[in-house]
Structure 1
């Protein structure tokens, strides 16, 4: 009996059967390099470009008025800038058809600037009230104080910290093995940094909806990691008592066995998010939903990547630093070398030097055997 390689099948066949044909863990240095580059780009975006905070966080003035005819956001920006002396932070549309409105977010405006902006917007776009008559009163201004913005920012940070503390406690209890807990937390950190980096590079506003979306996708990422690690735990149970496969190979098999499930879950999660961005934001004109849709789309994709290509390879790298895993891996490789050298497989014990000598039979079993 000799060890032979598994037959090579088509890509889809190997993907659906999950037979361990994709060497994900075996190429962990490649994935670590790619992950490092992604994190570096995200951090550069956060440092260089920073975040565009909505007025809910930093305070300011919100201007809203109904649209009369086809108006481009650049036209609204030009008119508002000439009236108040500085450009608005963002100009978005909400609603569609007769209910479509423009939402302008700007720094705090004084009474003179509000009056000038109202007159300029009315003269340029003639917004109409509910009765259909053109009226300056249809242009509404609402202020968000910097104190209120600071409170919202504080609450958002507290919510994020509490979530991370709860997740850390859950991971510590769920994965009683320190390597799994550390790998899961590192994967979660990766998801947060990359999602924040994408937001910084794109320049979308960070609003309360963004924070809610971030907490949602962190939960999704944790769920995906737990699914993969559950399979890893199942596969590596008792791995030290046999020299047929290494810990890394068993972990790689677990990733392959859950790969199709992760892909299906991601596709199912991405479709409604794309619907949110395409139908709600683009077709219906609800521009305020772009920030929520983007954070969920990026988070789902990044969470799937980290659970497959980062969390499990990192787990294996941490485990292979322990003496017992190193010794076991060496014994597995030594056994294979003897088999490749032509020694009969039956003469190469599967449990050699791993579990020690076989236990002696009990007294009752010995008497039964003598009979």
Structure 2
């Protein structure tokens, strides 16, 4: 038995627009006031990743940080059953790095270390390249959609994509979640997933337009609602599959992919939401009232 998805999605989009505007405003305020909580990938500093053979607490590590001449308030410590991560706001010199390893080895003689250092110039370059990657991907998508469909579809698709990416960025800013290179990978993945869902809906709208009466805007509205209903099962099935996989990665995956999987969980839900309630209704708004003009009837010759 198939579920009947025949609803007035365009009417629901008014609520969606309001919700999205509130999220966008909250995100802008958060980004302007708080910014993003950049990981060492995007700001200068040293990141020490330690594999340990026994549990080590943050309180045991703080005296070591103070001993090497760094205030423990300038270091972020994350501990686990077999892993410890210490992120320093400043770049460790060779003496400090060597002293830190020597002192930590007294806590766990079997510990192994991986130290990653990012200087200020590299941090700026990585941040700049990440922005370029998202912008270039969006421009490429706009060109592709404009060629395959029309410019209104392209504009609606890209606005929807920016909405998805900005919502994920806003959530990370509001809750001070760490933004690293895997987060950028997640944003680009979300953009790809969202445009795939949007293209399927747009393709169905285009197909239905060929055989539909397009005399008034109400006719176009009916085409959009019918197209969304016809693709709803496919959209939800795809979204549910990706969401469950991302959620499992978030719960059971390692610390290194936690932010990636969390971004995917958030982005997958908003990707489906925007394809249905943002992209398609926005195309209808841009399309406006474009009645199909009847062919002029030839005047009878006298």
> Under a length normalisation based on structure 2, what TM-score does the superposition of the two structures give?
0.85
Cα distance in 2, alignment partners of residues 145 and 52 from structure 1: 17
TM-superposed CA distance for 1:215, in Å, is 0.8
Q: Does 1:50 align with 2:35?
A: yes
1:264 maps to 237
Measured at CA, do residues 88 and 69 of structure 1 come closer, stay the same or move farther in structure 2, by a change above 3 Å?
farther
Measured at CA, do residues 69 and 241 of structure 1 come closer, stay the same or move farther in structure 2, by a change above 3 Å?
closer
Query: Which of 6, 18, 24 pairs up with 2:9?
Result: 24
Cα distance in 1, alignment partners of residues 196 and 34 from structure 2: 31
2:152 maps to 179
1:333 maps to none
Q: Provide the alpha-carbon RMSD of the alignment.
A: 2.9
Q: Please list, as runs of the form range in 1=range in 2, the aligned pairs for 1:84-99 lying within 5 A after superposition.
A: 84-92=70-78
**Residues 188 and 221 in structure 1, CA contact (< 8 A), matched pair in contact too:** yes
**Residues 16 and 278 in structure 2, CA contact (< 8 A), matched pair in contact too:** yes
TM-superposed CA distance for 1:193, in Å, is 0.9
**Residues 232 and 251 in structure 1, CA contact (< 8 A), matched pair in contact too:** yes
CA offset digits 1:309-362 (Å, max 9, x no partner): 111111122222x4x34xx8xxxxxxxxxxxxxxxxxxxxxxxxx646899xxx
Measured at CA, do residues 59 and 76 of structure 1 come closer, stay the same or move farther in structure 2, by a change above 3 Å?
farther
**Residues 156 and 279 in structure 2, CA contact (< 8 A), matched pair in contact too:** yes
Cα distance in 2, alignment partners of residues 316 and 76 from structure 1: 61
Q: Secondary structure at the match of 1:62?
A: strand
* Structure whose CA Rg is larger: 1
Cα distance in 2, alignment partners of residues 306 and 77 from structure 1: 45
Aligned length: 296
Cα distance in 1, alignment partners of residues 166 and 219 from structure 2: 33
CA offset digits 1:152-211 (Å, max 9, x no partner): 3333233223212211211211222x3222111110110111111111122222211111
CA offset digits 1:192-242 (Å, max 9, x no partner): 111111111222222111111111110000001001111111222243466
Query: Which of 152, 157, 162 pairs up with 2:131?
Result: 157
Cα distance in 2, alignment partners of residues 274 and 119 from structure 1: 39
Cα distance in 2, alignment partners of residues 102 and 306 from structure 1: 39
Q: Secondary structure at the match of 2:10?
A: coil
Q: Does 1:105 align with 2:87?
A: yes
1:316 maps to 284
**Residues 164 and 274 in structure 2, CA contact (< 8 A), matched pair in contact too:** yes
> Under a length normalisation based on structure 1, what TM-score does the superposition of the two structures give?
0.71
Cα distance in 2, alignment partners of residues 194 and 236 from structure 1: 32
Gapped runs of 5+ residues in structure 2? none
TM-superposed CA distance for 1:150, in Å, is 3.0
